[in-house]
Amino acid sequence: MKFLKLVTCILALSSLQCSLPSSVACDDKVESKSVSPNQKYVATLFVRNCGATTDYSTIVKINPAATTSTDDGDQVFVARGDFDVQMIWQNDSAIRLSCQRCKTDDIFKQDKSWRDVAISY
């Protein structure tokens, strides 16, 4: 009888666990923006916080200035941690991203271009 109660409790708990939300919404805090000289593109630096069990992520996205895209596909730089990244447009189609405190092991993504924009580091 005790075994049956134990199995029933385990099954009840496991079904409860399956109904709990499996993902936590992340919070993106915009740190700064930099608009290209011709006003065509905007680079946005933000820090993503997905909760206490994960590291912060520093992310740079480039988008056309006329849109407010939240598409992660436009991310050109991603690093584990909360870092300050300088975003300096060299001209209408070239930007330099500089992260003084970033370590190579912390950088997950470092694209060299986005659409017709060249990216240097």
Whether 7 maps to a domain, the answer reads no
pTM of model > 0.85: no
The predicted pLDDT at position 112 comes to: 98
Which has more confidence, 19 or 32? 32
Instruction: Tell whether the model's pLDDT for residue 5 goes beyond 70.
Output: no
Whether 62 maps to a domain, the answer reads yes
Whether 11 maps to a domain, the answer reads no
Bridge partners for 120 per DSSP: 96
How many domains does the chain contain in total? 1
Which has more confidence, 22 or 74? 74
Instruction: Tell whether the model's pLDDT for residue 99 goes beyond 50.
Output: yes
| Contact (Cβ atoms closer than 8 angstroms) between residue 60 and residue 45 | yes
Q: What is the pLDDT of residues 74-84, one digit of tens each?
A: 999 999 999 99
The rounded Cα 97 to chain-centroid distance in angstroms is 16
Whether 61 maps to a domain, the answer reads yes
Whether 14 maps to a domain, the answer reads no
| Contact (Cβ atoms closer than 8 angstroms) between residue 75 and residue 113 | no
Whether 19 maps to a domain, the answer reads no
Domain range for 102: 24-120
Instruction: Tell whether the model's pLDDT for residue 21 goes beyond 60.
Output: no
